[in-house]
Amino acid sequence: MGEARTPGQRAGLTRESVLQAAHKLLIERGLDGLSMRGLATRLGVAPNAIYSHVANKTALVDELLDEVLAAVVVPDPDTTEANAGLVRIMTSSYTVLLDHPDLVPLYLARQGARGPHAQRLGDVMFALLAQAGVTGPAAHEARRVLIVYTIGFAALSTSAGPEPSEDRPLGSAELSGNFASGLQWLLTGILGA
């Protein structure tokens, strides 16, 4: 006798379909408009089918944030020089965040993401920092500073238009340039290079 199928499986839902529908709902209605009941209605299923894939709204948002991080390009810390590897991972993170401006405020509010993709990125960052001799509490602080810098710059950049205006003195191209040069300054301080 096989395993009993969950209500979500019986409804034909997958984790990916739930996250995709949740992201669309979030874009349309914002965080306050994202509810488990609203998501179930969007998917044409009973709410208990959603709970087969995610525990609650907080877990749903955490999974959405973490899923986006799967697109971050991760260098191999065994074959990549620390500075170049950290530039690559943080620049890729910044680009991924810019591709999802609707989620950037949630990354700010939650101070990042916590799922398996975030963990993988953190592990690679720790390996690159260790390669440069930055370990222990200093590595944790360095990782936090790099993450906060990247999310903060993404928040600033997603609120900017392509060109400077009276309301926004910096355009997105200038902010991207500022991100790159500031990242190098941070890494020079962190790595002592």
Is residue 43 within 8 A of residue 51, CB to CB? The reply is no
pLDDT band at 166 (very low <50, low <70, confident <90, very high): low
What average pLDDT is seen over the chain?
Answer: 87
Specify the higher pLDDT residue, 112 or 185: 185
Mean pLDDT is lowest, of 34-48, 97-111, 153-167, for 153-167
Q: Summarize pLDDT for 4-43 with one digit per residue, the tens.
A: 545 444 457 888 899 999 999 988 998 888 899 999 999 9
pLDDT in tens, 20-29: 999 999 889 9
Where are the domains positioned within the chain?
Answer: 7-54, 68-191
108 confidence band (pLDDT: 50, 70, 90): confident
Q: What percent of the chain lies above the pLDDT cut of 90?
A: 51
| 3-state SS class at 79 | coil
pLDDT per position as a tens digit, 65-104: 999 999 999 999 888 899 999 999 999 999 999 999 888 9
Task: Report the range of poorest mean pLDDT among 28-37, 116-125, 157-166.
Answer: 157-166
Give tens-digit pLDDT for 123-132: 999 999 999 9
- Mention the CATH class of domain 7-54: mainly alpha
Q: Average the pLDDT over 109-116 and give the result.
A: 86
Produce one character per residue of 99-122: b if its CB has 16 or more CB atoms within 10 Å, e if not.
ebeebbebbeeeebbebebbeebb
Q: State if pTM tops 0.85.
A: no
**One fold for both 7-54 and 68-191?**
no
What are the phi and psi torsion angles at 54 (to 5°)? Answer: -150, 140
Both tokens of 33, joined, read: 């408009």
Fold exhibited by the domain 68-191: Tetracycline Repressor; domain 2 (1.10.357)
Percent of the chain with pLDDT over 70: 89
